[in-house]
Amino acid sequence: KNEVEQSPQNLTAQEGEFITINCSYSVGISALHWLQQHPGGGIVSLFMLSSGKKKHGRLIATINIQEKHSSLHITASHPRDSAVYICAVPLRAQKLVFGQGTRLTINP
């Protein structure tokens, strides 16, 4: 079993829909990262959170430390949100362990 599990693996939605991506982890952590990877390969850090909720524009990330679960939400989704979203947690000397990624496609 992977230490970090994401769901769904693939998600297709229509523009304007509310999107939720989930991430569960099996070990104690100090923080969790949400990352965005575009087709060119570059990765952008969206959030680092250790408790509660963070919001940036149309993106919201929440974490429940007790339940070892985090969610990434996108409100009013847009085709430019199409990307792979990855959650990652630091383990073992601060090395990051990654979920499998969620490939999001937003159709106009």
Partner 1 sequence: SAVISQKPSRDICQRGTSLTIQCQVDSQVTMMFWYRQQPGQSLTLIATANQGSEATYESGFVIDKFPISRPNLTFSTLTVSNMSPEDSSIYLCSVGPGEAFFGQGTRLTVV
Task: Kindly list the residues in this chain that would bind partner 1 in the complex (CB under 8 A).
Answer: 30-31, 33, 35, 40-45, 48, 86, 88, 90, 93-96, 98-101
* Paired tokens of 25: 């982890």
Beta carbon of residue 98, minimum distance to partner 1 (angstroms, whole number) = 5
Beta carbon of residue 11, minimum distance to partner 1 (angstroms, whole number) = 16
Nearest to 8 by CA among 18, 17, 16, 19: 19
CB nearer to partner 1: give 31 or 76: 31
Cα 102 to Cα 25, 30, 59, 63, 87, distances in angstroms: 15, 23, 15, 17, 9
Cα 107 to chain centroid distance, Å, stands at 20
CB nearer to partner 1: give 83 or 99: 99
CB nearer to partner 1: give 62 or 100: 100
